[in-house]
Each structure stands twice: as C-alpha cells, then as structure tokens.
Structure 1
Amino acid sequence: MNGDPDAAGSDRETGQLVYLNGPRDIEFREYPVPDPDPHAVVTEVVRSNVCGSELHVWKGDHPLKDCVLGHEALCRISDLGDAVETDSAGNPVSEGDLVAPVYFQTCQACDFCRRGEFYACDNDYEHTGKSPDIWPHFHAPWGTHYYIYPDNHFYKVPEALEDHLNVTAAANCALSQVLFGIQEVGVNYNDTVVVQGAGGLGLNATVVANEFGAETIVIDGVDERLDQAEAFGADHVIDFRELDTVDARKERVEEITDGAGADVGIEVAGVPEAFVEGIELLRKGGRYLEMGNVRPGHEVDFDPGRLTRKSIDITTAVEYDPWVLHDALEFLAATVDDYPYDQLIDASFPLEDIEDALEASERRDVTRATLVPPT
C-alpha cells in the first residue's frame, strides 16, 4: 500500500528517529515505517555519523531548526517502490542492497536546477526541514529508517566498501564535498595546494589533491590532526602553534614553493580569519576554494585590495552536484586500502546514546562518531 500508512492500523512495524525540538533539546519519537511511493525507497539505517553540521544544528547555530537530524548515512534497502529498479547511476538494486543516499534533494524545477546548477537547488532541504509528524516521517537518517524520496539521488555501494561501513557512511559529505570543490577550483598535476585545517574535510581534501598529482601543505595546530595529515599523504605540515603569525606561515609556504606561494588554497578550518590568511599564502594568479565558513554572521576585517592586487580567483562550494556521490564512492573504493580512512571515524555509539555522542563530539574527545541503530 502506498500513501499514509497511519491509516493502516496500529499493527504496523514502527521505527524510531531523533528529533531536535530546540537547541540541545533531543527527543526520540516513534512512527509507523512507511510503504514507499512507486519511485521512492524505504531503507534501514546501518550507520549514521555525527558531522560538525549536526553540532551546529544541535547548538542552534545553523539555519535548520526543529527537524529530524542526520545526513551522513549508509542504508540497507528494505522496501523498493514498484517503479524502482536501479539506483541513480543505473545499477540494478534489490532489497538487502547497501546504498548511500545524497542527503539533499534536487527538485528539478527551481531556477537553479533549470540552469543545471543542481548543487544550488533552491529546495535542497525541503524534506529534511519537515516535521516528523508529516508522512513519511523518516526525513533524515538519525533513526532506524530513512525514506529516500524520488528526487533524492542514491547509489549502490561498491563491493570493495562493504567491509568499511563507517567510512562509507561519510562519503556523502566530506569526500563528495571536497571532490566537487576541487574539481570546481581546478587542481592540476604538479600544483602546490595548501589546505587550512586537518579535520575530516581537510584530510579528504589532502587525499584528493594527492591523487590529482598535487604537492600538499596542511596547516593545523593539533598534534593528532597533524599526525593524521601526514598519514593521509601530506607532503608538508605547518603547526600554527610554532609558526604563530600569518607572516611566519606565509614565509614557510613561500620557502616550499621557491618564493612564489601556493597555486591553490583550500579553506576548511571554518574560521573567518583563515580566509584572510589564505589570500596571503597564494601566489599571484592563484585560486582559492572557500568551503569551511558556512555559518552566516561571523565576520572578520578584510582588505579586498590584497585580493585584487594578487589577481586571486575565489571559488566557493557548499553541497555538490548529486552524481558526485557516485564518483566519491568509486574514488573511495579505489583508494580505501591506500589511506587510513578508518581513523576518521574513531568512536561508535548506540543510537540511544546520541546525547553522549554529541557532547563527546563538542568536546573534541572524538574525531567523528558513528551511530548504530538497534537491530
């Protein structure tokens, strides 16, 4: 039966989800598991990670409010709509298959979608922002189930990743984002790329830049993150506690680049001051990718003349074209044995302990936590 399952009686299977009722106010709610519409898919959540975005939403420092939480997910198909035979890349799918869903929709109807700018869809969070009281309830994957709408892309997980569940769950966020951003800014063979920040985005950016044939410089100020940057193939690391001024870090980058400065800068620290510094680290005619500062309202003094006099091109990236997730899964499958991706997900929590996971993440006791729903 398709449509609202609540009319089918009280004997239906139910599932749980995590709902944010306000800043730091988490509720568990229970709803009937929906039957899919013909072009939709019902899944059981296998893993769902705690990303920094969820921390911002949880703390009330994000445009999303009062919603079902989660976006980094790996799911198993439990019920296919009658019209669904393949994933969004044309691969045949059946019940029991592992799939990775794109966490936002592309409506195909707004001005941006009509221009082919699917990463900028004007209705990207339409489903995520719905109340869970609205059928089909499971609008985001912090829960036991997740509903993949007809306008959500999803991709079957390559066999090479079936033993890397936590890592694969993260592919639809950090890896897809940096793969899209790096393609947009244009990283070429033999470029020198400076990455500001060695969190999840920064480490994935380092891997992608490495695989594109670039020389990589990673800047951070946490011992563990600097060690991880080296493990993920950074050619050089800069500890901003030792080189504690912009001029000192600029001098070090110029030393590495024979006085020129980096060809490409990637800001993934999420600190407004990093943007100002990044311009100083680039050569004349360099390219700069801004991805980390995603929260409006955080300001910094900036001299636009410095940008203009150096002829710096600025590219920003938030979200990505939905088919990039397919590329990210293929990229991950090809490199999963070459880099320590498993180090990026270093703590596992039962779904019912979500508040412990959020608090540990906020304290930075963990790099990234994964949530495991009850079976």
Structure 2
Amino acid sequence: MMGLKAHAMVLEKFNQPLVYKEFEISDIPRGSILVEILSAGVCGSDVHMFRGEDPRVPLPIILGHEGAGRVVEVNGEKRDLNGELLKPGDLIVWNRGITCGECYWCKVSKEPYLCPNRKVYGINRGCSEYPHLRGCYSSHIVLDPETDVLKVSEKDDLDVLAMAMCSGATAYHAFDEYPESFAGKTVVIQGAGPLGLFGVVIARSLGAENVIVIAGSPNRLKLAEEIGADLTLNRRETSVEERRKAIMDITHGRGADFILEATGDSRALLEGSELLRRGGFYSVAGVAVPQDPVPFKVYEWLVLKNATFKGIWVSDTSHFVKTVSITSRNYQLLSKLITHRLPLKEANKALELMESREALKVILYPEG
C-alpha cells in the first residue's frame, strides 16, 4: 500500500483541548481494514473521558466510538456478518467493541458485553502505537481482524447509523433483556437524551402500546413526541405525584410494565421505582460513571413488587445488528436527534456543546 497521511484530533492530557495531529500509515496489519471515516458521532460519554472520569482511557488517545465509513483497503480477506466479502469502496458500520471469545463471559455465560478483555475503539485503545488510528475523531480508522462489520448501501444514512452505534445499541440491549412481548405494554422512559430517544423508537418498533417520556427539557420532550412518544411529562413543571397519577391513570392503576432509566442519574430510580407495576421490569442503562448511593426501599420496590431490576452494560454484536435493522427503517425520525454537524477540527467545540447540553447529538465530518 502507498503511504497515507491521516489526521485526527488527539486527547493528550485530560481537561486539555484535543490536538490536531497527522499520522503516516503504510502497511496495515494482516486481516485489518483501513476505513475512511465519513461520519463520526460525539457521545456524551466522550465528555466523561475528556474529563478523566473514565478509568479505562489511556493517553494519548483518539476519542470516538461511533463511526461509519468507506473501506480503503483490506489486508487479506474479510467478510461482514452476512458473509459478504468486503472490498475497497464498500460502505460499512462496525461494532465498537471487540471481545476475546475465550473468557467465561464470552464462552460460558454468553454475555460477551461483560468480557473483561473487551477492546473498544475510542475508549480504551490508545494511539501511541502503530497503526495509531483506533478512534473515530479521525480521517481514517484501522479496524482489527476480529471487528464485527456490516456492509451498508449508498441509500443508508451514515450519520444516523454512526450515532446508533452506541446509544442505539445500548438502548436495544435494555429492551432485549425483557423476557416478554412488548405488545400491549406500557413503557416509561426516564430521560430524553440520545439513549432515551432511541428507546422511544425501539419501544414503538417492538410494539409497545404506550410510550411515556419523563425529562426536563421542553425541546427534547417535543422531539420525543415527534418520534413516537404518546405522552411526555416535564419533571420541572410537574410534581412526582402528578407524574405518578398520569401513569397510573393510563395503566388502570397498575403502573408501568417496563421502565428504561436513560438519565445518567442514579436518583431517577427513586421516582421510577414508584412508577413500576408489581412484576415489572426496570432497565438501568444510563448510569455510566460512579455516583453517590441512593436510599433504596428493598421491601416496597423490589420484594413486594417481585420486580426485576436489570443493569445494562454496553452492548454486543447481536444488539449492534438489530439496532442497524431498526435504525435503517427509521432514518427520518432518528435524524431529528442530530442538532449539530461540524468539521473534525472543531471536535473541541463539539465536546463543549455536548457538555453544556446545547447539543443533543453532534456529528463530525473529517473533511467537512
């Protein structure tokens, strides 16, 4: 392969602006794929990494675990998950995590998202060693041979697919744990960030009868309604009791069948546990960093209700594939989540927009 000059925005020190750097790429490792990034999503968790709040992050690193792009070169033979041979020019998306396939969680418990050896592009893969390009805030990325890839078409919306690679797949994981059909069920979603809003589209796609969103931003609640929520409740304008009454009225006094915590705040459980019906299911997916403990009523909320509380950690390849399927049928709705599109060199501004919550979702374009 001819030498390639790639460029990326690199986090060299926590809480210091990302630095624009060039990387010379010659041969890529056997079985790897060199991809030109066409769309990179900025995730809220990227802000935690930038601030040094995620212990997995090495320095220096190219952030960005949400991406979509075009194959430049494949060293050897590589097929996607449908068995299609990949070649230069193909558009692809990929699972952000690579599991070892050998440990207890991969082989015995069949929970590969819990693999202790899991490698994640843009999160725990530094850029100091060749081939450097292991994150999506970059013009190119080099994908390891073990990466799970899906070929997509020119008709697909790469911006939405990139965005779906994290919050979409994690939201799908939360719903995938529910052991029943969603037909006839009432789903309550706490939070209207990307995770919660993907949850709205997934709940609707899986056949939920009522989808209710609780959040504090009028703009995000309006968006939740536009993409399929039946009822939205502004937690800044209503009391806990008013919200509880609204949900009890809809559910004939029972409470929600399924609740998705997508706020990122452990305190959401204090309200959500009162909204859950007896025998209900609570997926806690938004709490992504350590927080203060919350006072939990074990008897009233857990035992008496015979409730299931399920922690949701990231996602695996099955969630990735199912998310691409649902996303591809809802591009028009999900594209409304993207509030800002910026060139790669403005990645620092993108992080500021996400941290201030001025942006719901930012997409970076390497050459934009």
State the TM bucket, normalised to the shorter chain. over 0.9
SS in 1 for 2:72: strand
**What are the ranges of 5 or more consecutive residues in structure 1 without an aligned counterpart?**
2-10
Name the residue aligned to 2:345: 352
Bigger drift between 109-118 and 252-261 goes to 109-118
Alignment partner of 1:78 is 2:72: yes
Equivalent-residue separation in structure 1 for 2:25 and 2:321 (angstroms): 27
Name the residue aligned to 2:281: 287
Equivalent-residue separation in structure 1 for 2:15 and 2:168 (angstroms): 28
Q: How does 1:11-30 map to 2 (within 5 A)?
A: 12-25=3-16, 26-30=18-22
Q: Is the 8 A contact 1:185 1:288 kept in 2?
A: no
Runs of 4+ aligned residues of structure 1 deviating over 3 Å after TM superposition are none
Please state how far the C-alpha of 1:159 moved relative to its aligned partner: 4.7
Q: Is the 8 A contact 1:206 1:229 kept in 2?
A: yes
**What are the ranges of 5 or more consecutive residues in structure 2 without an aligned counterpart?**
none
Name the residue aligned to 1:93: 86
SS in 2 for 1:253: helix
Question: Which of 240, 248, 254 is 2:248 aligned to?
Answer: 254
Please state how far the C-alpha of 1:270 moved relative to its aligned partner: 0.8
Change beyond 3 A, Cα 1:124–1:152 = same
Question: Which of 33, 44, 53 is 1:41 aligned to?
Answer: 33
Name the residue aligned to 1:167: 160
Alignment TM-score, normalising by the size of structure 2? 0.93
Q: Which amino acid aligns with 1:294?
A: A
Alignment partner of 1:227 is 2:222: yes
SS in 1 for 2:359: coil
Q: How does 1:1-375 map to 2 (within 5 A)?
A: 12-25=3-16, 26-65=18-57, 66=59, 67-84=61-78, 86-115=79-108, 116-125=110-119, 128-161=123-156, 164-186=157-179, 187-214=181-208, 215-245=210-240, 247-306=241-300, 307-337=302-332, 340-374=333-367
Length, aligned pairs only: 360
Q: Is the 8 A contact 1:48 1:73 kept in 2?
A: yes
Equivalent-residue separation in structure 1 for 2:192 and 2:239 (angstroms): 17
Q: Which amino acid aligns with 1:312?
A: A
Please state how far the C-alpha of 1:21 moved relative to its aligned partner: 2.0
Q: Is the 8 A contact 2:212 2:230 kept in 1?
A: yes
SS in 1 for 2:177: helix
SS in 2 for 1:143: coil
Equivalent-residue separation in structure 2 for 1:64 and 1:371 (angstroms): 23
Q: Is the 8 A contact 2:188 2:211 kept in 1?
A: yes
Name the residue aligned to 1:6: none
Q: Which amino acid aligns with 2:13?
A: G
Deviation sequence 1:51-90 (CA, Å, 0-9, x none) = 1010111122222332320011111100112122x21331
